[in-house]
């Protein structure tokens, strides 16, 4: 998918309606800015807005310990920047997995396969049913993204982009998502 196809696909999605430090902005209004490496390399990102959602499951009639989920919202323009760079990285990743011949192995977070997680799970279960002998490993990575090694992540991003040093625009985005600031709000106070 080229960037104009990406733009058209994004335009079909409803615009985020949350309140933030900046005004709501459509992709049409900011597309030229968002796709300019020079502008992004000098862009000043707003802090994220942060709050915690607490949910409690009931199991066998007993209330379990509340599960906390940290929510961070990007400013509207920043959100478009993150979406665009996510698209660029996904495109590079999708090309890489084809070259490495692991296109059908690594399927999580893929944007080019046209299937949902439910469809991938069905494919996996169908394969398990047909297999004579099969081992299934299940894992849950608590706080996975919060505990990523940022130096390693940067190295892998350079490798994916086939560069020795991140371009200034990619570095600005990388730096902001790995060393971000945020403002805490109580739900209903914005």
Q: Say what the pLDDT of residue 186 is.
A: 64
6 token code pair:
């990406």
More confident residue, 164 or 19: 164
User: Where do the DSSP E strands lie in 8-160?
Assistant: 48-55, 58-59, 62-63, 67-73
Q: How far apart are the first and last CA of the chain?
A: 37
The domain in which residue 122 lies consists of 3-184
Give how many domains the chain has, as a whole number: 1
**The pLDDT value given to residue 55:** 85
Q: Is the distance from CB of 17 to CB of 24 less than 8 angstroms?
A: yes
| pLDDT band (50, 70, 90) for residue 47 | very high
> Which two tokens mark 92?
């590079």
Kindly state whether residue 25 falls inside one of the protein's structural domains.
Answer: yes
Question: At a CB cut-off of 8 Å and minimum separation 6, what does 175 contact?
Answer: none
**Segment 38-60 mean pLDDT:** 91
Note whether residue 189 is domain-resident.
no
Q: Helix, strand, or coil here: 121? A: helix
Identify which has the larger pLDDT, 11 or 83.
83
| Domain-embedded: residue 190 | no
Q: What is the dihedral of CA 169, 15, 22, 6, to 10 degrees?
A: 10
């Amino acid at each position: 998918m080229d960037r104009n196809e990406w733009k058209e696909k994004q335009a079909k999605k409803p615009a985020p309606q949350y309140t933030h430090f900046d005004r709501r902005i459509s992709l049409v209004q900011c597309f030229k800015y968002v796709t300019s490496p020079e502008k992004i390399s000098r862009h000043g990102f707003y802090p994220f807005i942060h709050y915690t959602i607490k949910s409690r499951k009931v199991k066998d009639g007993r209330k379990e310990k509340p599960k906390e989920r940290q929510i961070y919202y990007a400013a509207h323009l920043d959100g478009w920047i993150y979406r665009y760079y996510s698209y660029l990285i996904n495109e590079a990743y999708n090309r890489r997995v084809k070259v490495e011949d692991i296109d059908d192995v690594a399927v999580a977070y893929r944007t080019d396969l046209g299937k949902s997680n439910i469809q991938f799970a069905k494919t996996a279960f169908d394969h398990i049913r047909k297999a004579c002998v099969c081992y299934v490993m299940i894992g849950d990575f608590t706080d996975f993204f919060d505990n990523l090694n940022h130096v390693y992540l940067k190295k892998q991003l350079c490798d994916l982009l086939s560069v020795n040093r991140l371009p200034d625009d990619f570095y600005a985005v990388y730096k902001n998502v790995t060393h971000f600031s945020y403002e805490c709000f109580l739900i209903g106070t914005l």
